[in-house]
Amino acid sequence: MKTWLNGQPANQLDLSDRGLSYGDGLFETVQIRDGRALLLEQHWARLQSGLARLKFPASSLALLQQDVAALTLPDSGVLKLTLTRGPGGRGYRLPDIAQVSRIVALGPLPDFAGQPAEQGVRVRLCDTRLGLNPLLAGIKHLNRLEQVLARAEWQDAAIAEGLVCDLEGYLAEGTMSNLFWVVEGVLYTPVLDRCGVAGIVRSHLIEVARQAAIRVNEGRYLPTVLHQASEMFICNSLIDIWPVIQLDQQSLEIGSVTRQLQQLLQQEYQL
């Protein structure tokens, strides 16, 4: 993996950095394909929204964009972008002048065994619940301890993902992904206004589906609604779409809506 800090090659970070001390920062994970960073404008937009909510200096995004523009991207790989508020003293008070740390990393794509996009995956429902915090909902901030604890619930390599509910018991997301399911031809996904990450591929798929005249509903749903699903899939910026063929003891087919969205997403990537 190649890494840069504030535009210069580096592999070390100040130990007083607020990203390390408090999770005071944001990150984006971008898939590179054919030498292009996929859906990069959408990643920039989510990052800008997060920076505004966390009260980062207005210049932070533009400087990171300059760092990325100076790179030569590989044919394929992962571009990870991280912004922290930089070095700081003790205490939560914001520094008068933040020295933002801009971290850029380039690495290879993960090797997903077993052709999950074609063959489908097994998932489970987690016991860990996500706290409700509208201020942080949707953005990809650096504190992901809830997801870490949810992922710690299983070690079975045959289970690809765990689905997580919020404190009130409503479906939210996967530990690393967003969730969709189909009931009678309608596509459903949890609303993410109180917790969870508003994934870039999730948002893009909602647009793609509506353009294809597929009805999409966002709302608060209890896990029991999944028993009615004829199709289910998870998605993120690296896996694209993985059909779900088993949720705990419930078996599912890989249906036409899932396959259609997979095809439409790949067509979008080739434009």
Q: Which CATH class is domain 2-107?
A: alpha beta
Check: CB of residue 13 under 8 Å from CB of residue 107: no
CATH number of 116-270: 3.20.10.10
Residue 235 structure tokens = 């998605």
The reported pTM is 0.96
Token pair 């008070």: residue: 93
How far is the CA of 227 from the CAs of 51, 55, 191, in angstroms? 38, 42, 19
Cα distance between residue 95 and residue 91, in whole Å: 10
Are 2-107 and 116-270 the same fold in CATH? no
Which residue in the list 3, 29, 80, 268 is annotated as catalytic?
A: 29
Instruction: Provide the CB-side half-sphere exposure for 16 (13 A, CA).
Output: 9
Q: Is 140 a catalytic residue?
A: yes
Would you state the torsion angle of the CA atoms of residues 51, 53, 54, 55, taken in this order, to the nearest 10 degrees? 80
Which residue in the list 28, 82, 140, 258 is annotated as catalytic?
A: 140
Q: Where are the domains of the chain?
A: 2-107, 116-270
Per-residue pLDDT of the chain (271 residues; tens, 9 = 90+): 999 999 999 999 999 999 999 999 999 999 999 999 999 999 999 999 999 999 999 899 999 999 999 999 999 999 999 999 999 888 999 998 899 999 999 999 999 989 999 999 999 999 999 999 999 999 999 999 999 999 999 999 999 999 999 999 999 999 999 999 999 999 999 999 999 999 999 999 999 999 999 999 999 999 999 999 999 999 999 999 999 999 999 999 999 999 999 999 999 898 6
- Sign of the CA dihedral running 254, 259, 261, 267: positive
Q: How far is CA 128 from the centre of its chain?
A: 18
Token pair 């800090």: residue: 5
DSSP assignment of the chain, as one string? Answer: -EEEETTEE-----TTBHHHHH--EEEEEEEEETTEETTHHHHHHHHHHHHHHTT--TTHHHHHHHHHHT----SEEEEEEEEE--B--SSSSPPSS---EEEEEEEPPP--TT-HHHH-EEEEEEEEEEPP-TTTTBS-BS--HHHHHHHTT---TTEEEEEEEETTS-EEEESSSEEEEEETTEEEEE--SSSSB--HHHHHHHHHHHHTT--EEEE---GGGGGG-SEEEEEETTTEEEEEEEETTEE----HHHHHHHHHHHHHHH-
Q: What is the pLDDT of residues 203-232, one digit of tens each?
A: 999 999 999 999 999 999 999 999 999 999
Which residue in the list 28, 146, 161, 173 is annotated as catalytic?
A: 173
Instruction: Provide the CB-side half-sphere exposure for 118 (13 A, CA).
Output: 4
Residue 249 structure tokens = 């003891």
Residue 136 structure tokens = 């942080």
Q: Is 82 a catalytic residue?
A: no
Q: What is the pLDDT of residues 169-197, one digit of tens each?
A: 999 999 999 999 999 999 999 999 999 99
Check: CB of residue 26 under 8 Å from CB of residue 50: yes
